[in-house]
Structure 1
Amino acid sequence: MQGSQSADPVSTRQWYPLGVVENLTSSFIETCLLGQAVRYRLDEHGHTEAFSGDRLLSSRARYGLLWTTLDTDHGSDDLIPGIPEADEADRNLVCCGSIAVKASGLRVVENFLDMAHFPFVHTDILGAEPHTEVERYTVETRAEGREIWATECRFFQPQAALSAEGGLMTDYIYRIAAPFSTLLYKTSPDDPERKDVIALFVQPMTPGTCRAHPVMFLLDNDSSHDALVEFQQMIFLQDRVILENQRPVAMPLDAASEIPTLADRSSVAYRRWLKAQGVTFGAGPGASARSSHPSPTGLETAS
């Protein structure tokens, strides 16, 4: 059963977001993390706290989110992805809520990496026909193999951001900072010399369900907070329809499930990286990627 899979040691060591800090009160909120019931709140002193059963978990407030880990031996928060841009005073921190998805958390990360689906799923926003080509880009490991980076990514977008006026060729850099955490650095319409940063932190609940916590670090200080949240949630909810229809639910990591096309290089690297690390929560054997991904995701598209 999908819900009975136990967490692997690598996934257990990671830190995960549970919710937006500014939404917390002294009342407990119940959720699930790696198959375990977890509850969290603000204590009487206004500090964040999280429990698994009666066990007090390590917790931190970072990037507007409450983070925790189930690991009893590695309480250090070094595994929360470092984002230097978060410390830049002129950036607008936008937490976009917590979105439940009936899909493996690994598939949510993989979908975030896929540019080829933009014209078909995010039509006239992040992509549009006939601009469907995914140009050749570079994939490499960094941080002594702990991260994957995809650089030199370019894609034409009719509306790359809420503040964008008209279409533009957008430069992308993707960074997989942890098995369930990924970031996107993209051309900023407000400052061509710098990049906006969009992070997607995934909370794996069971092997087949998760919650996505998008956070943006934007150079757009003109758009309203509510409008920015609405724009990002609209994009993600378009993805959710596709994600919840992918089969098998668990993301296959075996070599037979990979399609080495130019459009899929990040996906292939991500799956191999997960397998090499020993990540199994939300992963598993199954049909080939051609049968597990409906064509609108772009994973079948050879460009």
Structure 2
Amino acid sequence: MDEVLVNEWFAVLKSEEVKEAPVQVVVMGERVVVFRTSKGIHAFKDLCIHRGSALSIGTVKNDTLVCPYHGWQYDSDGNCVCIPAQAKGASIPLKARAQTYVCEEKYGLVWVCLGAPAAPIPEIEPYADPAFSTHVFGPYRINSSSARVIENFLDYSHLMWVHQGYLSDPEYSEIANYGVNRVNGRLVTDEVTIFEFDFDDPDRALIPVVYVKEAYRPLTAFLEKRFGAGRVMCILMASCPIDEQTSVTYTVHAINFDPGEISEYMAVNDAVMMQDMVILENQKPEELPLDLQAELSLKSDLMSIAYRKWLAECGVKLGTV
């Protein structure tokens, strides 16, 4: 397991996906069970200490997670509190417990960290602002490493080509020189102007939109788009590595204007993500090269270059080469 990423938060589910039954997810090859009790959301290693059954195919009863194999019951702290096969009053072995992981809900997502969190889940002001509505998208299961997925999100110059017809047009491909800054441990680009189709124009005229992209954590990124007239869209992307070459990604949008029919807005966002996935799933190698000489980079790739350097400095191994 990656020694750096084990201490990072990963969005593994939408909050609405965790109801009465436990749910299994995979984080860096580790099976994890997520479940609810009256005390909140919880995450355990998806393994009963008794005979290795997956707890995720069990049930939640009286605020305990019940193993489907022999009925062992684990409380929200991972302690086994009932072994049905034992005589009443018999002591429960101290070893009879589940491995627990830290788990929180934020931005409509369930976040899990397998180790000791290196930093809190990012606090992003617009998501707490009542002037903004929020919308959660995903999961997007992608046959590509999480590092590739995040780098693509941070890239500017693909927008006019991969997303032509939805976001922009190849005639506006030139990217002005911009800088990348380190701010409170994050990578933040200067403002970059991209010509995009106007949401509010039935003729879909191209208008200048000001972008700022940020890498918050190795596999969590953020985008702010300013359309003028006070209209702002924010997108948080969180990618969870299933393994070296497979990931699950969620995005959370915050917008302070009316995007029109929500179902249509969601369909467009899904279509844009599908366009990205076609590219991501056909890149070689599937892992992100951290050697800056492995691929040819230009000035327009400055954020990508900075991101790769940053991952190398952090010591991220999983999903990189």
Q: Into which bin does the TM-score normalised by the smaller protein fall? A: 0.7 to 0.9
- The match for 2:51 is none
Query: 1:195-274 counterparts in 2 under 5 A?
Result: 195-221=232-258, 223-274=260-311
- Cα RMSD over matched residues? 2.1
Change (3 A) 1:65 1:281: same
Partner SS, residue 190 of structure 2: strand
Partner SS, residue 293 of structure 2: helix
Count of paired positions: 270
Query: What's the CA shift string for 1:153-173, capped at 9, x where partnerless?
Result: 111112569999522111100
Task: State the distance in 2 between where 1:278 and 1:94 align.
Answer: 33
Unaligned runs of 5+ in 2: 47-97
Task: State the distance in 1 between where 2:210 and 2:149 align.
Answer: 22
Residue pair 2:259, 2:265 contacting (<8 A) in 1 also: no
Residue pair 2:210, 2:227 contacting (<8 A) in 1 also: no
Task: State the distance in 1 between where 2:22 and 2:128 align.
Answer: 30
The one of 38, 49, 54 aligned to 2:42 = 49
Change (3 A) 1:154 1:161: farther
Residue pair 1:20, 1:66 contacting (<8 A) in 2 also: yes
Query: 1:88-99 counterparts in 2 under 5 A?
Result: 88-99=129-140
Task: State the distance in 2 between where 1:136 and 1:161 align.
Answer: 29
Change (3 A) 1:174 1:40: same
The one of 106, 116, 124 aligned to 1:83 = 124
Pairing 1:147–2:186 present: yes
Q: Counterpart of 2:192 in structure 1: which amino acid?
A: C
Unaligned runs of 5+ in 1: 1-5, 285-303
Partner SS, residue 96 of structure 1: strand
User: Based on CA coordinates, which of the two structures has the bigger radius of gyration?
Assistant: 2
Residue pair 2:12, 2:111 contacting (<8 A) in 1 also: yes
Change (3 A) 1:81 1:164: farther
Partner SS, residue 21 of structure 2: coil
Task: State the distance in 2 between where 1:216 and 1:164 align.
Answer: 24
Pairing 1:166–2:205 present: yes
Change (3 A) 1:94 1:206: same
Task: State the distance in 2 between where 1:23 and 1:269 align.
Answer: 35
Change (3 A) 1:40 1:164: farther
Residue pair 1:125, 1:160 contacting (<8 A) in 2 also: no
Identity score, percent: 24
Change (3 A) 1:104 1:159: farther
- The match for 2:111 is 67
Q: Counterpart of 1:250 in structure 2: which amino acid?
A: E
Task: State the distance in 2 between where 1:247 and 1:88 align.
Answer: 41
* Shift of residue 258, structure 1, vs aligned partner: 4.8
Pairing 1:36–2:36 present: no
* Shift of residue 79, structure 1, vs aligned partner: 2.7
Residue pair 1:18, 1:203 contacting (<8 A) in 2 also: yes
Task: State the distance in 2 between where 1:233 and 1:46 align.
Answer: 34
Change (3 A) 1:235 1:38: same
Query: 1:180-195 counterparts in 2 under 5 A?
Result: 180-188=219-227, 192-193=229-230, 195=232
Q: Counterpart of 2:250 in structure 1: which amino acid?
A: H
Residue pair 1:259, 1:268 contacting (<8 A) in 2 also: no
* Shift of residue 241, structure 1, vs aligned partner: 0.6
Change (3 A) 1:107 1:161: farther
**TM norm structure 1:** 0.83
- The match for 1:177 is 216
Task: State the distance in 2 between where 1:228 and 1:124 align.
Answer: 15
Task: State the distance in 2 between where 1:194 and 1:225 align.
Answer: 17
Higher RCO, Cα 8 Å, sep 6+ = 1
Q: Counterpart of 2:27 in structure 1: which amino acid?
A: L
Q: Counterpart of 1:58 in structure 2: which amino acid?
A: V
Partner SS, residue 271 of structure 2: helix
- The match for 2:21 is 27
Task: State the distance in 1 between where 2:225 and 2:259 align.
Answer: 18
Change (3 A) 1:164 1:12: farther
Partner SS, residue 313 of structure 2: helix
**TM norm structure 2:** 0.79
Q: Counterpart of 1:115 in structure 2: which amino acid?
A: Y
